[in-house]
Structure 1
């Protein structure tokens, strides 16, 4: 069966001289040179004592050192566990322990909280730096590279270890194999027709499955090119200049980033924009108004997709214009795996009927690590149960209604928060909105919402309530509206309704407590 490592080596042989990675304003690396850099770094890891099946944690910005070391870890049949640089020492300790990491890799500047955690639990820390593309990676642990030519990567090797975002429970460890990654890369290449002629700028953090699979690995697997921002992270100031300079043909992002890009366009538009084949949005629901504004501003189709860590990212996507129609409100058709809608009794639902979205295929993990309880509920009869409620329309497009654990039960009426979000976001003065359930003595749960107005707007709670009453059934109208300038999000821009609810409930209870001396 296919492996990601084999796929990348195949590409290096077919497109040796084509650009693979650029660090904006610094240097370019071809596919053949990238392959050489990976093998050299892999040899250094072997000399540093890394063995097959060891877990190696990596915490880097979006740098070329991260890309090379991530692929080098995989090359030696070890497991890469990318971690968010912004974690606290306690968070690092949890993730390092839960993944059973044997080594911590960072850039040459290190990461103090990660190093503190690693030291506490006895994990060795090694730095990696690429000072000269011609000389290759320098590891602080060793300068001697072992031979890697005799290492054969197996399709069953656990290549990547990630954690779910933990929106409803403690984060769960997700092991993903070489064949999981290769299958997902091929699915993404297929639906978006990525080729060696494509180019993109990496927007999202590469410790997350969206940026890693959809942005980086699928591009490299197609012989295409990626550009890493000089700062190692997304910058609205440099985004379009990089897109233009490196002749980008597409990009993928979360709705929060799309909004930032739009705001930049409206306040400081570029003189020209690149001719994009498409813009991709995933990881959270994109408001129809934002989608329309993106298409108008940048003259490119916006394709919404549906993905999860457990599926090695992509599960469904709206098609390119030449392959079909974008259906408003849908996340497209299944890509590369089987997908069904099951009711609570496990019966497959017909078109138009709600149920749980379930999938199976070569891109889907075989189960959570060391979590028997979660595996019992999520992996039944060969299907992965996503926890999402949705339905297929008559044309086979998937529409999501909400998470099972996020549906709001108001006096027996099940309300989809996504539906209420969409109505709120259709208001011209609303930039972002999220509704959520809160405890209520009379109905069990009641609906509240948080709204971020567009800049310069005078939008208030009364106007939001009036708009909702006009466009929603009475039982779906939020009882309380919070006008705010921000809501809690994950590092990848995903809104966690439970945390949003806790945040605003805390604000209410704090406001009710009299100040000392009052």
Structure 2
């Protein structure tokens, strides 16, 4: 087991330690001016590299521009960018300007962008240099101003990078980031604004099973607490380098892969494609000295499959550990990862409402890793197992996993019913997951009380899929559900009852799937062979469709 202690940590100067009291997002990019903050792994061109001083300068310039343009404290600025330096600058600048960042999946359809922007009360949309036609059209339809943002290389080594901002939709009102005042502010020597810990910094939607997606506000204090928990769990420091492959519009990539290592004084490396690419993964990790990466099981499985030809076992990157989160990691995959890559694999448990991490398996020096367990509560997080009435259950008994901590949101936006259901009188947040704690405090998840479909870490609301299926003129009843999948854990499946007089068949099934593809992102569409036409759906005594019985009825699984 010696090899599973991980590669030797490179020596470094004094650790930054935990974040100070009153920390905000901007605390994550403090530190030594010349220390590397972010690099783009482009082997052919050398790639973009920004020091902490350069990153702070770019963030401060955009923050001043946003304030001068009319962004006020609490205003929501939506972002449609992949894993790029522009995303990082935009996100941090919105926070520094005391705005609220609302990042979206760039693969959304126009109608999805419209719904999410309207629900978030978006005041401004920021787009990548190449734009996004669907998002821009949605913004124009809602009269929301939109602009592209592009990083301009520094004029000289060590100089601050520039930002090229181009307006693509004016909107009827709202911030004008290309106005003369905004341009002047961006170039001024004035100090950038300073956010408050209580300011909401991030607004995300979490899918629900009984309603539309719920809005989750996370404050600077929530995010700072989560960063501190993650830093402490993995002993992150200035010598650490995170290779960032998880999408930044999720808390997984944003907190564990990006903000936490930055807060520890370390650096992050972004793939040049702006997303996970197995073909360059190990080359990038080795060239940039990655000390860890965090990913979903689907990505781990792809890397395992390609390991015989891709993994540089004779000169591996200096990984200390591999982190897995957002979806259950099969014990067999856990064992194969450790055997193949020779470092500890630490499975964690997280959710949006907790600003990501709640539990994790520890580093080897701090305790055992237990395959099948998502580890122990870390940092300032408390975990309890409660019964339906909210009473604490004895160790070992199965019940609902509940949490407390400074990282947990104070509640959903404009949704008192959801808040009443989610929080107990004692302040515990109900995760909707079922589990038990062993004698050492390790959490084992045993099922989901909620019915979200978890496709490789991407949470999908079945009601959203149901609604699109029911909008097809041939469909009378519809219910979607998760189907087991060896690569993604779960994929979307569905069953429909046709209207009287409609004839089933492959042609109609494909027409219904095509109908879904016009309104939903590809990962939400029922897969080939997973859209069933039936005479009746499983229902209970009250006539309510029993979604939990669908896999057994149509797939022969429980």
TM bin, normalised by shorter chain, reads 0.7 to 0.9
Structure-1 separation of matches of 2:61 and 2:483: 53
Whether contact under 8 Å (1:80, 1:160) holds in the other structure is yes
TM-score by length of 2: 0.73
Whether contact under 8 Å (1:31, 1:223) holds in the other structure is no
Q: Note the C-alpha offset of 1:451.
A: 4.8
Pair 1:449–1:122, CA change in 2 (3 A): closer
Pair 1:153–1:203, CA change in 2 (3 A): same
Structure-1 separation of matches of 2:248 and 2:49: 19
2:288 pairs with 1:246:
yes
Of residues 225, 228, 231, the one that matches 1:186 is 228
Q: Note the C-alpha offset of 1:150.
A: 6.4
| CA RMSD across the alignment | 2.8
Structure 1 gap segments, 5+ residues each: 408-416, 419-435, 437-446, 455-487, 511-518
Pair 1:319–1:230, CA change in 2 (3 A): same
Aligned pairs for 1:10-89 (under 5 A) are 11-12=30-31, 15-25=32-42, 26-89=47-110
SS of structure 1 residue aligned to 2:162: coil
Q: Note the C-alpha offset of 1:339.
A: 1.5
2:25 pairs with 1:5:
yes
Aligned pairs for 1:347-358 (under 5 A) are 347-358=391-402
Structure-2 separation of matches of 1:220 and 1:453: 31
Residues 36-78 of structure 1: CA deviation (Å, up to 9, x unaligned): 1110111121232212111000001111011001100000100
Structure-2 separation of matches of 1:504 and 1:390: 32
SS of structure 2 residue aligned to 1:347: coil
Structure-2 separation of matches of 1:167 and 1:324: 37
Of residues 104, 126, 145, the one that matches 2:185 is 145
Q: Give the aligned partner of residue 227 of structure 1.
A: 269
Whether contact under 8 Å (1:168, 1:405) holds in the other structure is no
Q: Which has the higher contact order (CA 8 A, sep 6+)?
A: 2
Whether contact under 8 Å (2:25, 2:223) holds in the other structure is no
2:415 pairs with 1:395:
no
Of residues 101, 104, 114, the one that matches 2:135 is 114
Aligned pairs for 1:255-334 (under 5 A) are 255-270=297-312, 272-334=315-377
TM-score by length of 1: 0.78
Aligned pairs for 1:456-471 (under 5 A) are none
SS of structure 2 residue aligned to 1:251: strand
Structure-2 separation of matches of 1:350 and 1:2: 36
Q: Alignment length, in residue pairs? A: 433
Whether contact under 8 Å (2:41, 2:272) holds in the other structure is yes
Structure-1 separation of matches of 2:483 and 2:300: 22
Pair 1:448–1:367, CA change in 2 (3 A): closer
Q: Give the aligned partner of residue 413 of structure 2.
A: 369
Residues 434-483 of structure 1: CA deviation (Å, up to 9, x unaligned): xx9xxxxxxxxxx99645499xxxxxxxxxxxxxxxxxxxxxxxxxxxxx
Structure 2 gap segments, 5+ residues each: 1-20, 155-159, 167-176, 455-461, 463-480, 489-515, 536-558
Structure-2 separation of matches of 1:175 and 1:231: 29
Of residues 92, 95, 99, the one that matches 2:120 is 99
